[in-house]
Amino acid sequence: MFFVVVFLKKEEYLDEVVEALVEAEIKGLSIVDGVEMEKVLAVDIPIFAGLVRSMGGMRGANKVLFGITEVGDNIKEFISILRDIDAPEDISRLVEVISLPVSDYLSGD
Amino acid sequence: MKLKEIIDKDLVKIGIEAKDKEGALDELLGVIEKKFKITNREDVKKKLLEREAVKSTGLGNGIAIPHAHSEFVEGIAACIGISKEGVEFTCLDGKPAHVFVMIVANPQYNLKYLSLLAHTARILSREDIRQKLIDAKNEEEVVRIIREFEG
């Protein structure tokens, strides 16, 4: 059993990422809206306001998908599918995927 | 799940004869019935039509992926249909559908069914694959194109 986290840096590719998860038979993840830490720094903390210019093209919003999957091979399959997606950008370069083995687990199911 | 795990030449029909959506669903269901056990055809067709009523599975770019769950299907079943002329399928872009992949499954196989659906949508999102399928001269060639892509 693995805890999987997917950080998607460009939210416009969320459909492709979710479809790839489903294709890899990974289900039940939660999806939350995220904000790049640098954006908070640059926008909300006055001393770092200069970052807006120096970062050039800050995206700001991202998506974070996380949850439990039972089979580790599914994560490899997910990454492989991401690499194969026919999109204007290589989506596998726009995500960070982390999986961690889970030792203790309590489910409401 | 990949199409090559299910599809063989007997599950491919080149030259879909139907002229409308319901006719195409009937024809594709007939292809599936050649190899898969469907114990209540009317129920499966009803489920396919209900799914179409929610939103057309004619995704545009000449493709349609009609699909449905039914307890009267044994396992997961699929077939491919090709129409060079195109069939009016209320596609999202208003154009006819040329490549059809029908998927029907028992609800017990939901995860694999969704996986196959996502996989099929990804394959058919590629223009080169779509065109190769439309240009295929026979059923064996369709199977070969799918297997080449899926590796």
ipTM surpasses 0.90: no
Give the position of tokens 């990422």: A17
- Kindly indicate the confidence band of residue A109, based on its pLDDT and cuts at 50, 70 and 90: low
- What is the domain partition of chain A in residue ranges? 2-34+60-101
What total number of domains does chain B contain?
Answer: 1
Residues of chain B with pLDDT under 50: none
pLDDT at A54: 61
Give the position of tokens 């492709």: A16
* DSSP result, A7-30: EES-GGGHHHHHHHHHHTT----E
B35, B146 contact by CB (below 8 A): no
Q: Nearest residue on chain A to B124, judged by CA atoms?
A: A86
pLDDT at A51: 66
Q: Which residues of A29-48 are buried (b: 16+ CB within 10 A; e: fewer)?
A: bebeebebeebeebeeeeee
Q: Nearest residue on chain B to A80, judged by CA atoms?
A: B150
Task: Answer whether CATH 3.90.600.10 is correct for domain A2-34+60-101.
Answer: no
Q: What is the pLDDT of residues B104-131, one digit of tens each?
A: 999 999 989 999 999 999 999 999 999 9
- With CA atoms as reference, report the closest residue to B3 among B105, B98, B117: B117
- Kindly indicate the confidence band of residue A105, based on its pLDDT and cuts at 50, 70 and 90: confident
Task: Give the Cα separation of B29 and B38 in Å (integer).
Answer: 9
Q: Which residues in A1-109 belong to E strands, given as ranges?
A: 2-8, 30-35, 61-69, 95-101
A-B C-beta contacts closer than 8 Å: 28
**Which domain covers residue B17, as residue numbers?**
3-150
- Kindly indicate the confidence band of residue A53, based on its pLDDT and cuts at 50, 70 and 90: low
CB contact under 8 A, A20 and B114: no
- CATH code for the domain in which residue B64 is found: 3.40.930.10
